[in-house]
Amino acid sequence: MPLPGWVAGRSRGDAGRGALADLLVVGLGNPGLEYDGTRHNVGEEVVDLLAERYGACPKRAVGRALSAQVHVDGRLLVLAKSNVFMNLSGETVAPLVRRYCPDDVGRLVVVHDELDLEPGRVKVKVGGGLAGHNGLKSVKAHLHSDAFVRVRLGVGKPPGRQAGADHVLRRPGKAERTELDIAVVEAADAVELILTDGADRAMNRYNS
C-alpha cells in the first residue's frame, strides 16, 4: 500500500531491475497519518524532500517499503521509506540492502531522529553506538552490522519526567517545528553531499 504523500509510478531516471545503488537512503518513521509530523518521523520527511527535489515516485515495493530510483550526476540514488513501525525497521531495510547494495553496507544511509541532539541539529555518523534508538537496533540486528551511515536529526530530550517514547511520538510546537523544518533541509543537503563527496566530507561539514 502506498505511503502518505507517495504515489506509485515510474521514477525519473529509473534504473533497471539489476542495477545497484551508489547510495541507498532510508528514512525511518512510523506508518499512518496519525504519525505524520511527529518527531519520530523526521527521517521520512528528509526522504520526502529528496524525492520532491528529484521528481521521484516509488516504482515498486521492496521488503514492504516503497522505493524510488533517480540518477544524480551519473550516480544511482535510491530513496525509500518503510511501511512498518519503527522498532521493526530492519525488516524493511535488510531486503533493500540485499537488493541495492549487497556488497557494501557503507552505501546505506539511515536518516532518523536523535534524542541526544538538540532540536534542529544535524550530524552525520558512520557505525558506532545506537543511542538506544529502536529503529537503529532493528536495522543492526537484521544486517548483523552497524557499519552503515546515519544522518541524525536532533529532536532534543523530553521535558521533565516525560518518557522518551512519548516525546518522539508527539508533534513539536511551532518554534521547534520551524527548527526541524530547517534541519530537514540540511539533512537532505547532507545526504546529497554523502552521495557526491562521501561520508567523511559530510561529517567534516555537519559535525563541527
**124-173: pLDDT as tens digits:** 999 998 878 899 999 999 999 999 999 999 999 887 778 878 899 899 99
Which of the two residues, 61 and 56, has the higher pLDDT score?
56
Catalytic residues: 40
**61-105: pLDDT as tens digits:** 677 888 999 999 999 999 999 889 999 999 999 999 999 999 999
pLDDT at 189: 98
**29-53: pLDDT as tens digits:** 999 999 999 999 999 999 999 999 9
Q: Is 14 inside a domain boundary?
A: no
From the list 199, 205, 168, the residue with the least C-alpha distance to 186 is 205
Domain count, the chain: 1
Give dist(CA 3, CA 127) in Å, integer: 28
pLDDT at 61: 63
Q: Is 5 inside a domain boundary?
A: no
pLDDT at 1: 30
Its domain, for residue 43, covers 23-206
Q: Which of 25-29, 41-45, 50-54, 55-59 has the lowest mean pLDDT?
A: 55-59
Residue 136's CATH number: 3.40.50.1470
Reported pTM: 0.89
Q: Is 15 inside a domain boundary?
A: no
pLDDT at 6: 46
Q: Is 192 inside a domain boundary?
A: yes
